[in-house]
Structure 1
Amino acid sequence: MSNRILKRKPRKFLGEEFVLDAWENLKPFYDNLIFRTVDTPENFEIWLKDRSELESYLSENMAWRYIKMTCDTANEENQKAYQFFVQEIQPNTAVYMDNLNKKTLQLAEKFPLTASGYDIMLRSIKKYVEIFREENIALDTQIQIKQTEYQSVTGSMTIEMDGEEITMPKAATYLQGINREKREEAWTKISDRRLQDKDKLDEIFNALRDLRHQEALNADFANFRDYMFAAMGRFDYTPADCFAFHDAVAETVVPLVDIMVSERKKSLGYEQLRPWDLKVDVAQRPGLKPFKDANDLLDKTEICFEKISPELAEYVKTMRAMGHFDLESRKGKAPGGYNYPLEEIGVPFIFMNATDSLRDLVTMVHEGGHAIHSFEVRNLPINAFRNPTMEVAELASMSMELISMEHWDVYFSDENELKRAKIEHLEDVLSTLPWIATVDKFQHWIYENPTHTIEERKAAWVKISGEFSDNVVDYDGLEKYKGYSWQRQLHIFEVPFYYIEYGMAQLGAISVWRNYKKDPETGLKNYLAALKLGYTKTIGEIYETAGIKFDFSKAYIAELMDFVKGELDLLRK
């Protein structure tokens, strides 16, 4: 057996032969934890590790069911296996989870935990106990089933181009082509195909909105936004900070994007810049092709990570040896990309829909950053320590996008193509911040107005997106598409309010990259030191360990935008 095939730690509590095929098999372990007598600090630590082992097993079991379902959304057995967990296991564990949380707090009062990280864990547990309501268990189940409907609808979307039926990710590569008519054809077909299911997706989302609002009311919150801030453990910032972020992006980033898009229009020489003109190279060169296929992408990523640190390359090699990648786009596969941590083995799984574009390369190194994080926290003793808040998780991934960019010569041997790739990515960083602000502000509106109609939702989306859009792109005659463009953002359906983290982490990532450019050795060392903390410190302390600030004020954003603009100016010389 290869030494890259890692093994999980032996199961001391569950035992090696345990198989999850019915709730009745699992219940005795929960009963053990609930009714066990814990009478010493040492026994309390053993109890915590047993709980961690049980929860890690369930997390990984659920992970594989989700992975298999998203890899093939048309497979009924995969759907049933996932739904079994959601419908039969999670509702039963939820009540026990609340009782375990209460027992943890009681034991911590009796036997204070002094090791690093337990204060952060207990802070979160206290919040979970505060907001738990048994009547929300059934609602959670309904919500998760509804979310799989979204995956099935979007995963089945295809269009026909040049006589071939292709997936939406594959279709998007046509938007980089130099043939303007072909770009318009692809953009229109993609938009029409999404519009075809708009009513179905509106219906799914209305159900999700109503279920989520009821959850919030059950937990004594005015709206789902406030409930989610508590449920997500947002101890370090408030909705008011999010609104400040929106305003700062509108004032400091959108004007830069406006200039950038104006220059694109001028360079292309078009009288009107249309939405299908935003991805094509301004010099009318074909789209960048950083790799040929999935294997080539992995080969080159190994080399790229090796240049950063041999340890990081070893992580990719381990995942590859263990079959923890599914990268190609194909019909029936769920959209998007993710790195799914596997709690027991500690070796994550990366899923994406790669074709051969620069965007795919960025997705690979982004998810690779998440994977690095999983490896760095692999040996922390308690599962709560290994699950950092998303503001930290996305710092890991977005920083790796920019750090790896210093070694993209692996993907682009031609110096001009390398510069072009860097310019395109940095321009994407600038244009992504307004999109993040748009999605986040829209979600605040949705749940502050829980009885809104579909027409009101469309109008709100158009208004909010207009606040963060450039004034150059011409949508004349395309207005029917604008009200529904939010439906392509899976986070709104599947992980509500998980999006502003990208914006906060993007700011942090720019700072990490700035440090790495000044001093690669120290910059990387601080970055990895921050990741190794997992969730044993506050967000601010973790960012400080990385050598950066957790700050999304207007002044800080303006400072970082000046840095990015300066890097772009150097690349364009």
Structure 2
Amino acid sequence: MKVTRPERIFLPDNFIIDEWKNVEPYFIDLENRSIDTKEEFEKWLKDQSELESVISEDLAWRYIKMTIDTKDKELADAYAFFVKEIQPHLEPYSFRLNKKLSASPFKSEFKDEAYKIYFRGVDTAIKLFREENIPLNTELAEKSQIHGAVSGAQSIEHDGEKITMQKASSLLKENDEALRKSVFDKMAERRAEDTEKLDDLFTELIQLRHKVATNAGYDNFRDYMFDELGRFDYTKEDCFDFHQSIKDEIVPLVKQFSQKKAELMGKDKLKPWDSQVDPLGRAPLKPFKDGKELLSKTTVIFDKIDPYFGDCLRTMDSMGYLDLDSKDGKSPGGYNYPLYEIGVPFIFMNSVGSQRDLITMIHEGGHAIQSFLTRDLELTSFKSFPSEIAELASMSMEMLTMDYWDEFYDNQEDLQRAKIEQLETVLEVLPWVATIDEFQHWIYENPTHSKAERKEKWISLLDAYGTGTTDWTGYEEVRAYSWQRQLHLFEVPFYYIEYGMAQLGALAIWKNSKENFEKTIADYKKAMALGYTKSIPGVYEEANITFDFSKKNIKELAEFVGEEMTTYS
């Protein structure tokens, strides 16, 4: 498809954000503009939306370039410039514009659910805003990026070569146990060098976040973030129900196949370096050589499901909006970054040829498809949807593509292995999501805790959600600080349980696809195209599933996955 930037109505085409004085006049215009009719109010909303999309895209590119090469000081400085010199000025204006919007008599004339959701978010932003939090938010934005820089700088020596932690992790799938143990030890030793630094950083972040929350009149940062994240459709008690349901219904399933794996390997218990290896001694799955092949074959799969999906990836490739291969100095992880003005997102990842990389590509591709499906929505706020919706798009794509993975695997045994790995990973991830989420609830309910208390709490949660099938003797400290590898804790607090909720939705969509694949894809497209113009339950309903993390629902989905796993073994 051919994509061009929409014609700007409010901003000039040559608009550049290189200093605040170039940006401010447009905020002054919006703040001082008189609005005497519904039409003028609507024009004002669209002009504000255009300004938001352009500014957010500028920040996006600074972040993308910085994470591609964390060693380039100019790129880090460019991002820091925005955080220090632009962002602090945006908050007071956003607050005043929100108040102007909220006070408008014409607001009541917009009856659509989309506008009600938007206006609700504006009212919440007004409630959250405090002038004294502006410098704190600037400091938080800077400090939260330190984790990525620290992690991106981590590497180990292997066979005389310096390799990234992502590449090192892929060696944990090798059958040679001595090799796995050696690599695991080197990774643990390298991470241990940064343990104290990251522990101290996290303590600073917790203190700053608690201050932001109390400044805004909240008892704790958890309650503040529930409003900040727009969690209007569920409560903290629902999260607690999710935690318990996972312990009751999912952990026993994970324990079953973990015990089976240990038995197949002739061990009483697994070792920490055994978690990724094939129990039958087969070589690690290598579905592709490099990012180019990964993209090519993923595009073919997307074409088979729906030609529109394949076109999305081809468009991104032609525009240079993909960076897929792992390299030294690149920030860890993967993401799909929406670019609201052009309407074409950017996919960043660290592929090294593994099955996990294949899943990451499909996952981020699902996000990308949703970005395309929503690019023509009227306002930027409609395209900025909560993660419970965004992750449904990506996780569903993981499941919906499974029957097309023969594009990567011409060997039937390897194909079946890949599918079993995927289902086991889905089940394993749910307890991890619940562990991280329960950890965060405790952290911010107890913001003055000591580092020793934090360590003790984390270990107790690992025990509660664990299967007891891994022997950590001699590696207790590695386990005790395993939370430090979860970048969400540092960069995007409380954004994680959404993965678990969306995973349940994705399993329900996959279940539907087994009965009527074409209808399921049509429902998926309709739901994802809504963006945030409907409530979270409303979007799920459009996809012909329910937004439900009760014990009953999780039990039914767990049984379905268990039955499917037997067909692949």
Residues 33-52 of structure 1 mapped to structure 2, 5 A cutoff: 33-52=30-49
CA distance in 1, matches of 2:39, 2:418: 55
Match of 1:498 in 2: 495
Match of 2:231 in 1: 234
Moved more, 112-121 or 342-351: 112-121
Match of 2:122 in 1: 125
| Alpha carbons 1:44, 1:111 under 8 Å: kept | no
Partner AA of 1:322 in structure 2: M
Partner AA of 2:247 in structure 1: A
Match of 1:105 in 2: 102
Residues 410-421 of structure 1 mapped to structure 2, 5 A cutoff: 410-421=407-418
Match of 2:276 in 1: 279
Partner AA of 1:261 in structure 2: S
Between the two proteins, what is the percent identity of the paired residues?
Answer: 50
Partner AA of 1:336 in structure 2: G
Equivalent residue for 2:86, pick from 89, 92, 104? 89
1:20-56 residue CA offsets vs partner (Å, 9 max, x unmatched): 1110111100000000011111111111000000000
1:155-203 residue CA offsets vs partner (Å, 9 max, x unmatched): 1000011221100000001110010110111111111111110011111
CA distance in 2, matches of 1:234, 1:272: 41
Equivalent residue for 1:199, pick from 192, 196, 200? 196
Match of 1:224 in 2: 221
CA distance in 2, matches of 1:65, 1:108: 38
Residues 136-535 of structure 1 mapped to structure 2, 5 A cutoff: 136-535=133-532
TM-score normalised over the length of structure 2 = 0.99
CA distance in 2, matches of 1:215, 1:18: 33
- 1:134: how far off? 1.1
| Alpha carbons 1:526, 1:546 under 8 Å: kept | yes
CA distance in 1, matches of 2:336, 2:274: 31
| Alpha carbons 1:5, 1:321 under 8 Å: kept | no
CA distance in 1, matches of 2:444, 2:510: 35
Q: Secondary structure in 1 aligned to 2:323?
A: strand
The 3 A distance-change label for structure 1 pair 16 and 300 is: same
Q: Secondary structure in 1 aligned to 2:514?
A: helix
Equivalent residue for 1:28, pick from 7, 15, 25? 25
| Alpha carbons 2:41, 2:106 under 8 Å: kept | no
Partner AA of 2:211 in structure 1: Q
Q: Secondary structure in 2 aligned to 1:210?
A: helix
The 3 A distance-change label for structure 1 pair 488 and 108 is: farther
Partner AA of 2:41 in structure 1: F
Q: Secondary structure in 1 aligned to 2:531?
A: coil
| Alpha carbons 2:101, 2:107 under 8 Å: kept | no
Moved more, 472-481 or 254-263: 472-481
- 1:271: how far off? 3.8
Q: Secondary structure in 1 aligned to 2:104?
A: helix
Match of 2:55 in 1: 58
| Alpha carbons 1:175, 1:187 under 8 Å: kept | yes
Partner AA of 2:165 in structure 1: M
CA distance in 2, matches of 1:136, 1:466: 37
Q: Secondary structure in 2 aligned to 1:61?
A: helix
- 1:504: how far off? 0.2
Partner AA of 1:540 in structure 2: P
Q: Secondary structure in 1 aligned to 2:507?
A: helix
CA distance in 2, matches of 1:550, 1:191: 39
Q: Secondary structure in 1 aligned to 2:118?
A: helix
Partner AA of 1:549 in structure 2: T
Match of 1:537 in 2: 534
- 1:109: how far off? 4.9
- 1:272: how far off? 3.4
Q: Secondary structure in 2 aligned to 1:299?
A: helix
| Alpha carbons 1:5, 1:322 under 8 Å: kept | no
The 3 A distance-change label for structure 1 pair 108 and 335 is: farther
CA distance in 2, matches of 1:108, 1:235: 24
Match of 2:5 in 1: 8
Dislocated runs of 4+, deviation >4 Å: 108-111
TM-score normalised over the length of structure 1 = 0.98
Q: Secondary structure in 2 aligned to 1:160?
A: strand
- 1:108: how far off? 5.0
Q: Secondary structure in 2 aligned to 1:189?
A: helix
Q: Secondary structure in 1 aligned to 2:179?
A: helix
* Number of residue-to-residue matches in the alignment: 569
The 3 A distance-change label for structure 1 pair 162 and 271 is: farther
| Alpha carbons 1:23, 1:89 under 8 Å: kept | yes
Partner AA of 2:218 in structure 1: F
Q: Secondary structure in 2 aligned to 1:197?
A: helix
Q: Secondary structure in 1 aligned to 2:276?
A: coil
CA distance in 2, matches of 1:42, 1:111: 13
CA distance in 2, matches of 1:233, 1:148: 23
CA distance in 2, matches of 1:553, 1:201: 35
CA distance in 2, matches of 1:466, 1:426: 23
CA distance in 2, matches of 1:271, 1:98: 60
Q: Secondary structure in 2 aligned to 1:351?
A: strand
The 3 A distance-change label for structure 1 pair 39 and 109 is: closer
| Alpha carbons 1:117, 1:385 under 8 Å: kept | yes
- 1:506: how far off? 0.2
Q: Secondary structure in 2 aligned to 1:521?
A: helix
Moved more, 320-329 or 262-271: 262-271
Q: Secondary structure in 2 aligned to 1:227?
A: helix
Partner AA of 1:229 in structure 2: F
- 1:518: how far off? 1.2
Partner AA of 1:266 in structure 2: E
Partner AA of 1:38 in structure 2: I
Partner AA of 1:73 in structure 2: T
